[in-house]
Structure 1
Amino acid sequence: MSELYRVMRPWIFRLQPEQAHALTIALLRLGGGNPVGRWLLNAWFSSGRDDLQVHALGLTFRNPLGMAAGYDKDGLGWRGLACLGFGHIELGTVTLRPQPGNPPPRVFRLVEDEAVINRMGFPSRGAEFLARRLRPGRNDGLVLGVNIGKNKTTPLEEAVGEYLALFERFAPLADYLAVNISSPNTPNLRVLQGRDWLEGLLTPLAAKRESLAQLSGRRVPLLVKLAPDLSESELEEALEALMRCGMDGVILTNTTINREGLRSALAGETGGLSGTPLAAKSLAMVERAVRLVGDRLVVVASGGVMTPADAQARLDAGATLVQLYTGLIYAGPALVRDTLRVLRPGNGKE
């Protein structure tokens, strides 16, 4: 944690979590929205590293560190986020139609546990709003992904249609797409992780991708984000389904509903838990997935990455890319720079 953030954090933590989040998005939007702001941010947060390139998913990432989905849901602050040094940023989760998400309060800091519980429920301004925030043919060296999810009111039986519509809308605008079927905050969404439901969703998505690729000449990488609460057999079945359906990667993991070992008085709040308590479980799933899939899927580690050592541990376990979120809340934006400065090069793979 930088000394500046050490001083600022108590004041930031006096704000409600969603207030603090809205403020940081506004600052990132302001700083990233003009050349002077971008220059200042780049100068302040530069790691000085140019030897961390990763080649994966048919893309070139300038480094393996990314911003996880959930932070910039509507694409408001990604240009500022890019100046912090990330190699990729995952926007969303975006839903086809606008929806408010669950009623507040819906985000809770568990300071004693270095954790966060959220039950946001995919608040989204909708696909058309996010699409307007992007542009085709970017040439800024940043890999930009879009995380897609179904609307809360959409029955599971109709979810495939929404995911197909979202894929078609964002395939021309994103470098890759991530299918979110693992949030605990949308009723019954995690049912889609079951083998039959999963193949029923991913098979038409893969077919849609191939048909669009024939028209555009570009095959958009598809990844799937899974929950940390899957059993070993459920994880194995899900990974087998991903490979059978021709997916390119898996993101491990989303937030957990487990509350074991928490000390905070807020531990009983419903929602998904992220942060330090998730670290060991998420790392174990990465290790197991790497053993199961080998080079057939790109493994992206997300969950419990709170320090530079956490990021390196996931790369050492075989992950190709690593994503941050809750770590930034507790360590501040300099966590990106500090992590990049100590990462060992050579973790990328095709």
Structure 2
Amino acid sequence: MTLRYLMTAAAVLLGACATPTAPEAEPNMPEWRLVIHGGAGVITRDGMSPEMEAAYTAALETALEAGADVLRSGGSALDAVEAAVIPMEDDPLFNAGYGAVMTASQEHELDASIMDGRERNAGAVAGVKRVRNPVKAARAVMERSEHVMFSGDGADTFAEGQGLDMVDNSYFYTERRQNALERVLKNRQRTAEDRHGTVGAVAIDKDGNLAAATTTGGMTAKAAGRVGDSPLIGAATYAENGVCAVSATGHGEYFIRVGVAKTICDRVKLAGETIEQASETALGEVAELGGDGGVIVIGADGTFAFVFNSEGMYRGVVDPSGARTAIYGDD
């Protein structure tokens, strides 16, 4: 596989496509910025109706506004990334929270992680079945326990003990995901869409603090207990002040093996690469192993990039100059 698309900060704001080369520095960096994704995969104009495209665009705009509202009022990057992903966890268009894909045993097992770049504090949950918003549980783990990750029943019990909103597992059910499960079980084969749909956000606030969050329902018809990259710090999520913040989406097994998020930040920190160069390298390793997907990244200077080796990625960016969303590889 080859790197299909790279969009730099300047290209996004001007509405132009960029080639996979390092861009010139943005002349006037904004005081804050938020970048989101809603999953990467085989996303083409031919395969999407105008109505569905409009629905995804509106959902991305809602998520951007939720996070931007935090940053405009002087809030933290950490609060912003949590605020941005919650609407996507609540929207059945995405594979996170309500509308998440189903396991082979016809249940929903959700994963999420969050990381604060200030002191590299992090929290995660894996395989939760009753937490309405898994990202809230991940943050509770980070701030209200001595640990970084809880899984399974223990994660649900912890979240309930923290007073988070709990639901029956059937809350996450949608007919769309039931149909997808039946198709995969019948054909014994997953499409790219069945492996993707993770949502995430990265942000930089007015104080230069970085944060990242990632949340997912995993892959359709996954084995019970399977854990992908989304709750793993360093695989799908990483943030370190002065370096970068990353949220990834794609075929999790490959992102785990490469350690995509930490690889990107380490290449920026230790090799002096730009966020674009580091992202290209990490996703190149994923592609060599046979995987695909994408990342969103914000650097310590506020520059950002979308990099993916799939047909498209639901994505958006907002800062004081305005907001923009995109879906396809040639947007």
Short-chain TM bin:
0.3 to 0.5
Q: Which has the larger radius of gyration?
A: 1
Q: What is the TM-score with the length of structure 2 in the denominator?
A: 0.34
Q: What is the TM-score with the length of structure 1 in the denominator?
A: 0.32
Question: Using CA pairs below 8 Å that are at least 6 residues apart, which structure has the higher relative contact order?
Answer: 2
More strand by share: 2
More helix by share: 1
